[in-house]
Structure 1
Amino acid sequence: MSTDVAGIGGLFFRSRDPEARAEWYREHLGIGAGDEGMWNQEAGMTVFAPFASDSDYFAADQQFMINLRVKNLEGLAARLEAAGIPVERRDEWNTDEYGTFARIHDPEGLAIELWEPPTTADES
């Protein structure tokens, strides 16, 4: 199927304190560090997947979860933990096929899944 959609152009969500929340994302994840919150991300896979309303993959009171592709998940997790941000890891989340996962929550409780895809032979 051909499509004219080239990718996700933005993620917009409500916040009790937009400035503080934006600063948290800039400081801890480097997102929105440019002018007007712009962030030039690297090309790569983006998963677009609606979940069943009764899924327990993330909190039932959240309509969505952000999944961020990362490099060096362990290094990022160590920096986040050093900043006092709890990082959740579960062995069952990790697979050779899809890679390694961890979870954090932003200051307003939104789940953020950190995903390090498996390294392909071309990338090593």
Structure 2
Amino acid sequence: MGVLGFGGFFFRAKDPESLRNWYREHLNVGAGCTGGDGETNEWFWNIQSGPVVFEPFRADSDYFAAEKAFMLNFRVDDLEGLLEQLNASGIAIETRDEWDTPETGRFARIHDPEGNPIELWEPPAEA
């Protein structure tokens, strides 16, 4: 008996409705969205199974902004295509060559309209 996976992620927002819509529009995240299985539900975001990293960081870590308590990390299957869409929408994107490795995959970072950090992760293709 134990935890089966994430059941949700809840956080405070200055404008929850606007932020909910931003995530849905730009990242296909939130109620009624699907991660590729084709099944939708008005209350749930049905995600595709795959690896999830759960890792507390030291309080003084510089991996993301010190004033932020968390950074969302979303697994994606076409990082380049998503970055093109985000760029076309005027969303600032940060990439660094040192973030990418054949063992862990490719990464990019953005922020939502309320400044929450988001890491986009394309895991390496399975051999």
Structure 2 match to 1:12? 10
Structure 1 match to 2:73? 67
Structure 2 match to 1:84? 90
Cα distance in 1 for partners of 2:93, 2:102 equals 21
Higher relative contact order (CA 8 A, sep 6+): 1
Structure 1 match to 2:124? 118
Structure 2 match to 1:21? 19
Count of residues paired in the alignment: 118
Q: TM-score, normalised by structure 2?
A: 0.91
Percent identity, aligned pairs only, is 60
Cα distance in 2 for partners of 1:97, 1:59 equals 25
Regions of 4+ moved over 4 Å:
none
RMSD across aligned positions (CA):
0.8
- Any gaps of 5 or more consecutive residues in structure 2? 33-41
What per-residue deviation string (whole Å, max 9, x for no partner) do you get for residues 63-119 of structure 1?
000000001100000000000001100011101100000000000000000000000
Cα distance in 2 for partners of 1:90, 1:31 equals 24
What per-residue deviation string (whole Å, max 9, x for no partner) do you get for residues 42-69 of structure 1?
1011000000000000000100000000
Cα distance in 1 for partners of 2:6, 2:70 equals 15
What per-residue deviation string (whole Å, max 9, x for no partner) do you get for residues 17-63 of structure 1?
00000000000001114123x21111011000000000000000100
Cα distance in 2 for partners of 1:11, 1:114 equals 16
- Any gaps of 5 or more consecutive residues in structure 1? none
Structure 2 match to 1:54? 60
